[in-house]
Every structure is written in C-alpha cells, then in structure tokens.
C-alpha cells in the first residue's frame, strides 16, 4: 500500500534519496533532515497510512520492534547515552508529514535536550549515516 503523492512513500521506494539507517520487510528507517539532535531518525511502516491511528496495530508493533532493534546500535555508533521517542499525531500535535512516523532523538551526556531543529550540512548527515551503517553491519542488521 503506497500513496504516489506521499513524501515518505517516495523515500521508501527510493524515488527520493534518504540517509538510510535500517530496513526490513515492514519498516524503513532514515535520518531526519531537520534533526533536533545528532542522529535523529525516523521509523516508518512501509504500508502507507496517514497516521498511527489510521494504520494497523501490526504496523504500529513493527515500528516499535524496529525502534527496539535499532536504538542501541545507533546510540553505540554515535556515543549517545539516551534517546527521546516521539510521535506527532495530527496537525494540532505538530504533524507535518502524513505518513506514520516515530521520531528517535539520540541524547548525549551534558547536552541540552531541546527540540529546536538543527541545520546540519549534507556532509554531516552523510557522516552520521556512515557511522550508523558501519555499526548496523557489525550487528548483522544491514540489508
């Protein structure tokens, strides 16, 4: 199930490039290009649904399984010591992209835990992606 007008469906299909973090049969994971912390990434179900409540319970579970699988590897890759998990449901909650997505925001000892967007250069996002890809490979989680 995809929506040809949906930004994240286009990212999942490769029509729009992304900094891939992880992928399995049910979910796709990539860096947020407007991160609030180094390594901020998004977990999305491959099935299009505009939000968590419109999608299936199975897709919600697959996403959380992917959060569980990936978060330790990403923290390890980047030297993060924690993370915030978030989901904006609906316009009034700040949702801007209408394809279900969980935000995982790695956190670092001694750093402020703000939600202000940073503006990393492409090469900085690429470096973060490379560190994560290497750790995913070590963990046997890259495909």
Q: Show which residues are catalytic.
A: 101
Contact region with ligand 5GP (CB under 6 A), list: 21-29, 46-54, 66-74, 88-96: 88-96
Residue ranges in 31-50 that form contacts with ligand 5GP under rule CB under 6 A = 31-34
Backbone angles phi, psi at 102, to 5 degrees: -100, 140
Per-position DSSP letters for 120-131, written without gaps between them:
--HHHHHHHHHH
With respect to ligand 5GP, which residue has the nearer C-beta, 7 or 141?
Answer: 7
Q: H/E element holding 104?
A: strand 102-107
**Closest residue to bound Zn ion by CB:** 6
Distances (CA, A) of 103 to 22, 57, 111, 137, 140: 14, 18, 18, 22, 23
In the DSSP assignment, the letter for residue 135 is H
With respect to ligand 5GP, which residue has the nearer C-beta, 90 or 138?
Answer: 90
With respect to Zn ion, which residue has the nearer C-beta, 9 or 77?
Answer: 9
Candidates 14, 90, 94, 114: give the one binding ligand 5GP (CB under 6 A). 94
Binding site for ligand 5GP (CB under 6 A): 7, 18, 30-34, 88, 94-97
């Amino acid at each position: 199930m995809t929506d040809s007008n949906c930004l994240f469906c286009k990212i999942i299909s490769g029509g729009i490039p992304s900094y891939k973090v992880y992928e399995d049969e049910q979910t796709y994971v990539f860096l947020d290009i407007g991160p609030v912390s180094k390594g901020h990434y998004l977990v999305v179900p491959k099935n299009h649904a505009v939000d968590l409540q419109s999608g299936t319970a199975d897709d919600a579970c697959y996403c959380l399984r992917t959060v569980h699988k990936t978060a330790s590897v990403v923290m390890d890759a980047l030297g993060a010591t924690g993370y915030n998990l978030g989901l904006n449901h609906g316009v009034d909650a700040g949702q801007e992209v209408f394809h279900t997505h969980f935000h995982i925001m790695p956190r670092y000892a001694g750093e402020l835990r703000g939600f202000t967007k940073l503006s990393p250069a492409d090469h900085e996002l690429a470096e973060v992606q490379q560190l994560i890809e290497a750790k995913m490979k070590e963990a046997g989680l890259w495909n």
